[in-house]
Amino acid sequence: MDQFYNEIRILSMVDHPNLVKLYGFCYRDDKDLLLVFEHVCNGSLYDQLHHQKDAEKKNFSCRVVGINSWRVRLRLSMEIAQALSFLHNCASPQILHRDVKTSNILLDDGFHAKLADFGLSRLVPLRARHVSTDPQGTPGYVDPEYLNCYRLTDKSDVYSFGVVLMELVSGMLPVDVSRSEKDTILSSMALLKEKEGTWKELVDSNCWREDEDINAGIASLEMMQLAFWCLRPNKEDRPSMGEVAGTLTKLWWSYGGES
Identify the CATH number of the domain in which residue 157 sits. Answer: 1.10.510.10
Give residue 64's pLDDT: 43
Q: What three-state secondary structure class fits 24?
A: strand
- Asked if residue 25 belongs to a domain, the reply is no
Which contiguous run of DSSP H or E holds residue 22? strand 22-28
- Asked if residue 120 belongs to a domain, the reply is yes
Give residue 63's pLDDT: 44
**Cis amide bond preceding 239, omega within 30:** no
* pLDDT at residue 209 tops 80: no
Q: What is the pLDDT of residues 138-188, one digit of tens each?
A: 999 999 999 999 999 999 999 999 999 999 999 999 999 999 999 999 999
Q: Best-predicted range by mean pLDDT among 12-16, 49-53, 83-87?
A: 83-87
DSSP string computed for 34-86: EEEE---TT-BHHHHHH-HHHHHHTT-GGGTS-S--HHHHHHHHHHHHHHHHH
- Asked if residue 45 belongs to a domain, the reply is yes
Q: What is the pLDDT of residues 1-40, one digit of tens each?
A: 677 878 888 888 999 999 999 998 887 777 778 888 899 9
* pLDDT at residue 61 tops 60: no
Say what the pTM is.
Answer: 0.90
Give residue 233's pLDDT: 95
Task: Of 78, 61, 59, 82, give the one whose Cα is nearest residue 70.
Answer: 78
- Asked if residue 28 belongs to a domain, the reply is no
Containing domain of residue 186, as a range?
40-254
Catalytic residue numbers, as ranges: 99
* pLDDT at residue 212 tops 80: no
- Asked if residue 20 belongs to a domain, the reply is no
Give residue 26's pLDDT: 84
> How many domains are contained in the chain?
1
- Asked if residue 9 belongs to a domain, the reply is no
- Asked if residue 14 belongs to a domain, the reply is no
- Asked if residue 13 belongs to a domain, the reply is no
Amino acid occupying residue 70: W
| C-alpha distances in Å from residue 44, one per residue of 17, 55, 239 | 16, 9, 26
Question: Distance between CA 167 and CA 77 in Å, rounded?
Answer: 10
